[in-house]
Structure 1
Amino acid sequence: MDSARDLLVALARRYSFGDVGALAPAVLKDPETASLVNSVCEFGRLLLTLDAEDFTADVDPRAVPADLRRRASDCHMPQTPKEQPRGALESMRPAYALLLEVIEIRWARRELSAMIAAVHIASEYLPLLAFEPALGHGGDPARWPEALNGPESRFGAIGDRTCRHTKAEQSAAERTLRVAAEPGTGWRAYLDRQHSQVAGALATCAARCGNPCSALSWVPDPDDLTLRCRVALAFAQSPLVRLRHAAPVGHGFGVPSAEEVLDAWGRSRTALDKNPVGHQAVTDDGFPLPGLPSLISAVAGSPVVPGVLLADLSDHLVSLVRR
């Protein structure tokens, strides 16, 4: 490494956006270039930390090319009921491509707490990915099928003891049926606290309900959806995802080692390999957690592969540093 600029390039290749942004003003002689680099680094930090509500906030169009901004927008959670485009609520697949890329990067950097946190997020919303082919969107509360709130539906019926939903899921389900009429503050609070519970509630309807109501009467192939949701729920209870709950993340101890992560994933693969969808977890697809992209693709019913959004952003950052 011959110069401080080479160091910035190396850090950019490692997705160390915070370090590059902090060092750029001292290394780059041109203040305008340093400012652009700092803007790109902030954008990269938001993507790497999966701060989906801010992916499109205050992005300097001079710093980040339109294609990268558009691809990030595809992963963005809209902050009002009527915001357009709908981002991840249009389709969850781009967000899962980013999640897989983040998991891959965190593994390479041995940032295992952050990696397990990303795995946990993937598990929470996986039922929405399973429902997407039937819904035609990524679980947008502004576009739920009418039958979900129909006269024979118990979805969102608080206190109904014939429904297998927990109290928290019943509350979230009731809220999701009306949140599209709420102001932006209510919408954002719902997305932060309850949307993942709705994902779980839908999976319970499809995979665990022994006394079905009319909530899912609109689903064209219920048997296929049941199987994929069953696997999504099993993944959420797998040893790998449970690492998130076992480790007191943020307290400086109890962080799983790479060996513990691989062991937990190995046990998860065995537990999931009970049906044709779960069997995809034992695929050797070259991912650091082998079979995870294949499993997610099987639950989604269509291919979901690790994205290259952060890789392309890193390349763009390197080009700016080398100006």
Structure 2
Amino acid sequence: MGRRHSRTGADILPALLAEYRFGGVATVVRVLDLPGAVKERVEVLALAGERLLDLDAEDFDHIAAQKALPEEVVAPVRAARFPRRPDEPERGSLRSLVPLYALMLEALPIRWRRREPIHVVVLLHLIAEYLPFLAWEPVLRHAGDPLLLPAFVSVPGGRWGGRTPECDQNAVQRSASARVMTATRGDVPGWQAYLDRYHSRVADALARCASHPMPGRPRLSGVCRSPCPVWTQLPEDVRDDLAARVHLARMFAESPVVELRHHAPVGHFFGVPSPEEIADAWRRTWVRLTRPWQDGANPLLARELSQEDVARSAQLPPSTTGAAAEPLPGLTDMVSAVAGREVRAGTVLRTIRDTMLETLDALRDDTR
């Protein structure tokens, strides 16, 4: 009976891994009659995969320190984590957000295929929240790192972090702008409080600095009408490029698909949008994002997307995209357009899954 139970249980694992159900794999492995080393390896991989899918920053630290995990897993996770101390040498997502976006873009299709719309909506919200940092990254040479940002914004005549009426930042943005100037001077609890409460608001403040009244472009809520040297210190061609990419980022943040987040409260099971509702909201979002601007500066249309591609992506039913295609066609192109470079889905979760399958296949071969 024990062997039959083991074979039946082992047969379940590939089916679970096909949908990246790492938590289910960890549960099944605990009751299987497997060699201790195999059980331990699979369980470590499964727990890491589940934590990465949850995108919990504290879990990233645990995974990055796991010596039992392949380097192909640990290295991208280490690059995507946020430093837990203000003076930590490895800056992770404060240096570049590309590894974190690669992970989010890999996780979203998995959540979609598993029909977990609440997780899809939360991921879209997170993608929108940090997009301004991603847009500013090529200009700053970092992703809003509080160790480095004060030097950039402390320009003579700049209004960053002040309370002058000429600055159009709102109260929340001003508070975050002031907080980032001293974020690295305090203790670890103060640093964690900054990351939890203020960091994404700094992204919002930078977005406003790069947003100005632009006739012929879709209107945004909250722009800078009187640019100070924080903005004007940049060369004109850099300002033009950055302003267009930030404009696109803010259009996405104010789009129908991101607005779904406000109708899907975490922790409740009412008002959660269906996959069909998300797909419809994305189609409407994509139409807005790919609409030409009068000045011809829409960075998404500059990505060699033909009008046929735009129309096809806007109309493609997610249910027919196939396993390898994006459930929300064009999302990766939008992120890349905002970033000003290619940002693609990563392979961390796939590496974890494939490593688990290889471990189980090797065991199966040894027992034949």
Same fold at TM > 0.5? yes
Kindly indicate whether the alpha-carbon contact (under 8 Å) linking 1:149 and 1:177 is maintained by their aligned counterparts in 2.
Answer: no
Residues 1:215 and 2:230 are matched in the alignment: yes
Q: Deviation of residue 147 (structure 1)?
A: 3.9
Alignment of 1:174 onto 2:178: yes
Cα shift at 1:58: 5.8
AA partner of residue 209 (structure 1): C
Structure 1 residue 277 corresponds to structure 2 residue 277 = no
CA distance in 2, matches of 1:261, 1:306: 20
Taking structure 1 as reference, are residues 59 and 195 closer, same or farther at Cα in structure 2, changes over 3 Å only?
closer
Moved more, 52-61 or 127-136: 52-61
Kept after mapping to 1: 8 A contact 2:72/2:351: no
Counterpart-to-counterpart distance in 2, 1:248 and 1:58: 28
Unpaired stretches in structure 1, ≥5 consecutive residues? none
Matched, 1:264 2:281: yes
In 2: Cα distance, 1:10 partner to 1:97 partner: 25
Tell me if structure 1 keeps the 8 A contact 2:150–2:180. Answer: no
In structure 2, C-alpha distance between the alignment counterparts of 1:218 and 1:42, rounded to whole Å? 47
2:145 corresponds in structure 1 to: 140
- Structure 1 residue 137 displacement after superposition: 1.3
Identify unmatched segments of 5+ residues in structure 2.
Answer: 1-6, 212-222, 314-320, 364-368
1:59 Cα offset (Å): 5.5
Q: Tell me, in whole angstroms, the C-alpha distance in 1 between the residues paired with 2:270 and 2:182.
A: 42
Instruction: Say if 1:212 and 1:28 are closer, same or farther in 2 by CA, change over 3 A.
Output: farther
| 2:72–2:348 CA contact under 8 A, matched in 1 | no
Offset at residue 150 of structure 1 (A): 3.0
1:256–1:242 CA distance, 2 compared to 1 (3 A): same
Q: What TM-score, normalized by structure 1, do the two folds share?
A: 0.93
Distance 1:59 1:223 in 2: 38
Residues 21-71 of structure 1 show CA distances to partners (whole Å, capped at 9, x for unaligned) of: 111121142233222222212211221011133313266745311221011
Letter in 1 for 2:185: A
Partner of 1:192: 196
User: Partners in 2 of 1:118 and 1:74 — Cα distance?
Assistant: 19
Contact 1:156 1:170 (C-alpha < 8 Å) held by counterparts: yes
2:309 maps to 1:304: no
1:203 aligned onto 2:203: no
TM-score by length of 2: 0.82
Superposition deviation, residue 131 in structure 1: 0.3
SS in 2 for 1:74: helix
* CA distance in 2: counterparts of 1:3 and 1:80, whole angstroms: 47
Does the 8 A contact of 1:116 with 1:241 survive in 2?
yes
Is the deviation greater in 45-54 or in 230-239? 45-54
Can you list the C-alpha shifts for 1:195-224, whole angstroms capped at 9, x where unaligned? 111101101001121101112344341111
For 2:261, give the aligned amino acid.
R
CA distance in 2, matches of 1:203, 1:60: 34
